[in-house]
Structure 1
Amino acid sequence: MISHEHRFIFIHIPKCAGTSIEQVFGHLDSHRGRGGQDHRSLRMLQPAFSNLHRLHERGNLFEVGRRFKHHLSPNVSNPNNKIQVSPRQYQDYFKFTIVRNPWARAYSWYRNYIRDPLHKGAAGQSDISFHEFLHQHAGRGMLRSQLYCITDYTGRVDMDYIGRFENLNADFGTICNKIGIETPDLPHKTKGDGADYRDAYDQANRDLISTIYQEEIKLFDYAFD
């Protein structure tokens, strides 16, 4: 999400309270229905042409392709999801994101997946176990590594502030203070069912998440418990 009014870039990692943050800043005001969230990665927003020599590295070419496909697609229903920044704005704007415990995040996406008939229908699956879901989706698509979403073309995590889902209200207050606004209440736009993610994991699936997301687990000092 890009806000020229407040001069910030927010990287909305799925299942990390991003829809609530977008709602607060009016990103969804002109949109009705599904698909209004802005899940563009940092590299989809970062001006690419000053980094042409790096486009073959670390999936950069893939992200450039996603960027142009997204920009040209008639299926992007929220016009705010096509807002761009200039190189100067990219350098000057406050960049932030929210991250989440990867075990909790994966389970939250699973719960959302099995509640949503469109997700299941699109995949041709009327029923799927958590074990099957993890082996199909962990590390891919909406469950890409959180670091993948917030690294620039050099492979650096280019964020001015990284908040935590587990400390959301306090960290969102810090974000608003840095932006220079009063802290509004965050709506629970896509509230979960309150189930404890730890009850869903056996040792094998717990280890699977540890392996796939080991880099972010180490960087953000997350643990299963």
Structure 2
Amino acid sequence: MIVSNRHRFIFAAVPKTGTHAVRQALREHMAEDDAEQVGLFVNRRFPWADLAAIQHGHLALRQVRPHLGTEAFTGYLKFAFVRNPFDRFVSYCAFMLRGGDLFQQRPREIMHHMLFVDPPEGHVLFQPQSAQLVDDDGTTLLTDMVGRVEHMQASYDAICARIGIPTRALDRVNGTRHDDYRRYYTPALIDAVAARYAQDLDLFGYSFDGVR
């Protein structure tokens, strides 16, 4: 997450949505009194002890609100990027087995294990994207803008225009190696991902084939 007092924005870094590419671009515009929490590639913590203790940068918008106050939180542009949950789940599985070719050799077995045998419920990368973006009621989005990984550069350009900062071409950072996500699915896996990430599909308008 990045909180910019200089440009009055909050970037909620949803895992597996190109967050490190966005972070790198946004850092070029950060001032000394801006804050970032991140634990990969660089190690930075928020100045608030309870959030700094979490040890990663994928914080929920509702977690930072008490530290900013209602007026600032309401007035800052709050944005994030989201991704088709079916694509994101494949990327998650490939990412967790990076450094080898196990996912490339047995993708459906790995996906089945993650969904049915031993789901990593407590892992922030496995949780729904909406978990970081909704209010305490669990349904109301706190974001003012939501970019899409499927249109990453165009979304980033639009967000920069809204913030009032120059845009630039995003780098590819921390990507995973896998084919088109549709190739990995069976009907049972489709149903399982649809059930687990039902709120993401509904809130962000995705289906198995893309944006509805």
Q: Fold match, TM over 0.5?
A: yes
Alpha carbons of 1:33 and 1:180: their partners in 2 closer, same or farther (altered >3 Å)?
Answer: closer
- What corresponds to 2:60 in structure 1? 41
* 2:151 is the alignment partner of 1:167: yes
Bigger CA drift: 184-193 or 169-178?
Answer: 184-193
Q: Which residue pairs with 1:68 in the alignment?
A: none
In structure 1, the partner of 2:81 is: 98
**Equivalence for 1:150:** 133
Residue equivalent to 2:70: 87
Residue among 125, 137, 151 paired with 2:119: 137
Q: Give the letter for the 2:22 counterpart.
A: I
**SS of alignment partner, residue 11 of structure 2:** strand
Which amino acid is 1:181 matched to? I
Measure how far apart 1:194 and its partner are: 4.6
The Cα shift of 1:192 comes to 2.4
> Structure 1 residue 173: deviation in Å?
0.5
- Residue equivalent to 1:57: none
Of 186, 200, 205, which aligns to 1:221? 205
Is 1:186 aligned to residue 170 of structure 2? yes
The aligned residue for residue 17 of structure 1 is 18
Q: Secondary structure at the residue paired with 2:97?
A: helix
Name the structure where helix makes up a greater proportion of residues: 1
Deviation at 1:153, TM superposition (A): 2.2
Paired letter, 1:43: R
Q: Deviations over 1:91-145 (max 9, x none)?
A: 111000111100100110111100158xxxxxxxxxx722112333376522211
CA distance in structure 1 between the aligned counterparts of 2:74 and 2:134, rounded to whole angstroms: 14
CA shift in 2, pair 1:217/1:138, >3 Å: farther
Superposition RMSD in Å: 2.6
Structure 1 residues 140, 102: closer, same or farther in 2, change over 3 A?
Answer: farther
- Structure 2 CA distance for aligned equivalents of residues 42 and 32 of structure 1: 20
Aligned equivalents of 2:152, 2:90: Cα separation in 1: 18
SS of 2:206 mapped into structure 1 = coil
**TM-score scaled to structure 2, two decimals?**
0.75
Selected match of 2:90 from 97, 107, 122: 107
> For 1:7-33, what per-residue CA distance to the aligned partner results, in whole angstroms no more than 9, with x for missing partners?
1111111001111111112278x9884
- CA distance 1:223–1:140, shift in 2 (3 Å): farther
SS of the equivalent of 2:79 reads strand
Report deviation, 1:147.
Answer: 1.4
Question: Which residue, out of 172, 178, 203, partners 2:187?
Answer: 203
Secondary structure of the 2:68 match is: coil
Equivalent pairs, count: 179
* Distance in 1 between residues matched to 2:7 and 2:77, nearest whole Å: 9
Contact 2:93 2:110 in 1 (8 A): no
Which consecutive unaligned segments of at least 5 residues does structure 1 have? 48-83, 118-127
